[in-house]
Structure 1
């Protein structure tokens, strides 16, 4: 049996985020607008999740692809500085690192503009079999941004499970708004936890009611854990639903909150917490991450998350 080297292997997207705002609307016609805040921060759903998990005390490795450029060097250093192993972060010799611009509004909404760069070239060859064999849990993010990886993710997850790992997936948004499940349905059958937000759950399932959406997706096998913003979160196993409330905070920036939620849930389950406590810790991690600008600056430690979730034990 292969010795486990990592609590968590994260597969997916990593890029710099330029976050500016708040602004009520974009003025074209070469008009310049001034905003209160601007930050260059680490972005990518998978990367933010990896950092959140490392902050919570897990040993984390990242598998993905960046370009041979300044943006790639920036994200590599950002991941390393937060305790994420980037040994298996592939450098593409031709395609650039993805770049994302995020424009926030005063009411917590945001527009996201992404130049995909080498994301479309990210594939199963960027996930070495030996890395999968060394993990307790494997998580993948941004399913629809990486079509090459999406086509093979079922096989990647199946291989991870064969080595005893559990798996989770956060599809994130589909920029094409197609929500094509041709390659997703096989992945769901080898996914232990599906982690959409409420809008994504509805889009993936075709159901209007969130409870119905969660139950529909759970029929494929995974525990469905849905992030529902200020209304907290819900989990569905089979037909059974469990709900928890959000942790009240004064939000500064909601970018990456869902990814921090994912990290909290995975960390809690790997520490042996039951479903309710894991859901409560995850909601706390998502809420606490909004206390500062960018997706990683305010991610909590395990003790901070447990205190906010009002859990007395550390799991």
Structure 2
């Protein structure tokens, strides 16, 4: 099977146990949970049985170790992850509001993740990979952007493919050079995985049909639009497919889109029919929200088969 590599932040997530706004008073917290959008993605890919690896950096601390242990346990090649003793592993404090939106306090750019670099081990991992997955959350510094663009050139140069999940958070939009980096990556991606309105990030089209036609016309092979509880749609030059979301009891939606993306990309790389890939991806996202913690609901292939069979959606 083809090997996936991703590059970006590894962090721990520490969550407030009660809903409300912000962190303006002492709160009860739970964690640390292994996290970071590209780390969640690659952990789910590994657990699904896809060969995969990650390029990143963690501190020589318990937060780093809890992530490395989880990734290794789930089958991820961690040879491209550096341990830096001079900085702490990244962190995110998260609190859910009553309407389901979230407040974050991040330490990513100035954490070990900010020192992610193209080391010899990282370059070897990338050179042995067939597919690069890029998360928009990882484009938080010029150095990271340059590393990702270099990796993209290596993977594409050996006939590989690239998938891109914009995953844009509002607090990132003001970072210098971010839009240019997004444009450069989008221009060379083969599979585009936006959520909701992110479909319109790179087009002036006024409606979904126009945006899809324009994006496919630029050379993107396929588009998967993630809409959370409203399901997902797949588009390529021949067809449009719709997948309803599985009905489950939501405990924590963090990481569900990353798990969805990991399973879809894995299935796509295996040559699976897109309707089957969508079904597996939706099942992965559904199972992810049933557990608290971004990686806690990651699924094996067998667990997804059992889940899908139990719903009657075979």
- Could you tell me the TM-score, scaled by structure 1's length? 0.84
Q: Paired residue for 1:53? A: 45
Q: 2: CA distance between counterparts of 1:27 and 1:133?
A: 43
Partners of 2:119 and 2:23 in 1: CA distance = 43
More displaced 10-residue stretch of structure 1: 168-177 or 221-230: 168-177
Partners of 2:139 and 2:260 in 1: how far apart?
20
Residues 69-88 of structure 1 correspond to what in structure 2 (within 5 A)? Answer: 69-88=61-80
For residues 210-221 of structure 1, the aligned pairs below 5 Å read 210-221=208-219
- Aligned 1:1-315 pairs, distance under 5 A: 7-26=3-22, 28=24, 31-34=25-28, 38-116=30-108, 117-125=111-119, 128-141=122-135, 142-174=137-169, 175-178=171-174, 180-203=178-201, 205=203, 209-222=207-220, 223-238=222-237, 241-309=240-308
For the structure 1 residues 206 and 239, does the alpha-carbon distance in structure 2 shift closer, same or farther, using more than 3 Å as the test? farther
Query: For the Cα contact (< 8 Å) 1:247–1:308, is it kept in 2?
Result: no
Q: Cα–Cα, structure 1 residues 155 and 18, in superposed 2: closer, same or farther, change >3 Å?
A: same
Instruction: Please give the per-residue CA displacement for 1:232-291, whole angstroms capped at 9, x wherever unaligned.
Output: 112233595432111111111101001101111012112321222212221111111111
Structure 2 vs 1, CA of residues 154 and 309 (structure 1 numbering), >3 Å: closer, same or farther? farther
Q: 2: CA distance between counterparts of 1:132 and 1:160?
A: 7
The 1:167–1:108 alpha-carbon spacing in structure 2 relative to 1, beyond 3 Å, is same
For 1:260 and 1:286, locate their aligned partners in 2 and report how far apart those are by CA, in whole Å: 6
CA distance in 1 between counterparts of 2:244 and 2:204 reads 25
* Whole-angstrom distance in 1 between the partners of 2:201 and 2:187: 18
How many Å separate the matches in 1 of 2:207 and 2:87?
41
**Residue-pair matches, total:** 303
CA–CA distance in 1 between the matches of 2:26 and 2:123?
A: 49
Gaps of at least 5 residues in structure 1 are: none
Determine the C-alpha separation between the residues in 2 that align with 1:300 and 1:75.
17
SS of 1:269's equivalent in the other structure is helix
Aligned equivalents of 1:204, 1:120: Cα separation in 2: 27
Deviations 1:83-123 (A, max 9, x none): 22211101235333211111123553322221111333324
Secondary structure of the residue aligned to 2:289 is helix
Whether contact under 8 Å (2:21, 2:95) holds in the other structure is: no
Structure 1 window deviating more from structure 2 (226-235 vs 18-27): it is: 18-27
Q: Which runs of 5+ in 2 are unaligned?
A: none
Root mean square deviation, CA, Å: 2.8
- Indicate conservation of the 8 Å contact 1:64/1:88, yes or no: yes
- The DSSP-based 3-state class of the residue aligned with 1:182 is helix
Cα deviation, residue 309, structure 1: 4.4
| Maintained 8 Å contact 2:20/2:98 | yes
